[in-house]
Structure 1
């Protein structure tokens, strides 16, 4: 019985580490996506480049680090809206309607996950 508990503990630790690696990878890919030179980041009515947006998002990410367990948490806490003014961040890209940053990033997160799953499936073919 103790052996079963030990195996379950080891498996849960392994799964937890894999999830943390996936989350960190997803966050890194989202930050790279924000850097897109064709888009500007609107925060509290002011426009920022992707590089400037990344600096702000990383600062918030560091502040909320203990609350962030998933890429969705990262988006919610770090890249959705101003905690002071309550105004939602918006993305302005050429040839695209203005969109809330949360929607924009969640859509990109879906693409990242689909790509990762597709890559895993191809390895097993």
Structure 2
């Protein structure tokens, strides 16, 4: 308020207004308008931007080194399951194509994935386009849900087992 004209402020109730942010702002006589809410808008907005930025950074979690290794191992295992057929949206895909598709989805959704279970759920269980679940046709012709199948593979990996689905 360094302006000399603003030294002797008088409330002019006829110029009171209601601002669109929902707070009543009082107008003062002359060219001196004091809106106490407006004086806090810039710091509040800067603080809000900072908090949202930190939250966004925290939300972009990626897998730990051990979870990344499990994901890589799952994809590699799938690529070697040459006696199985992977069903996606009613179409058959060989093991190499299935593994490439999982890798591409993982690369796209990596910031949303922190665990191997997240990977299976987000990248290897269902179509993002149709929502249809992926299936695995076993060597004997039986069909298994890909989510169930890959979670069994993951459990075997976590136990330290080398054999689960067999390829």
Tell me if TM exceeds 0.5: yes
Per the TM alignment, residue 27 of structure 1 is displaced from its structure 2 partner at its CA by 0.6
Could you tell me how far apart the structure 1 residues matched to 2:68 and 2:102 are? 14
Query: Which of structure 1's runs of 4+ aligned residues deviate more than 2 A?
Result: none
- Unpaired runs of at least 5, structure 1: 1-18, 117-125
How many residue pairs match? The answer is 98
Q: TM-score, normalised on structure 1?
A: 0.74
Per the TM alignment, residue 24 of structure 1 is displaced from its structure 2 partner at its CA by 1.1
Could you tell me how far apart the structure 2 residues matched to 1:62 and 1:21 are? 15
Select the structure that is richer in helix: 1
Root-mean-square deviation (CA, aligned residues, Å) is 1.4
Could you tell me how far apart the structure 1 residues matched to 2:89 and 2:160 are? 33
Could you tell me how far apart the structure 2 residues matched to 1:37 and 1:62 are? 23
Give the equivalent residue in structure 2 for 1:28. 72
Could you tell me how far apart the structure 2 residues matched to 1:44 and 1:103 are? 17
1:97 aligns with 2:147: no
- Unpaired runs of at least 5, structure 2: 1-62, 162-167
Say which one has the larger Rg: 2
Q: TM-score, normalised on structure 2?
A: 0.56
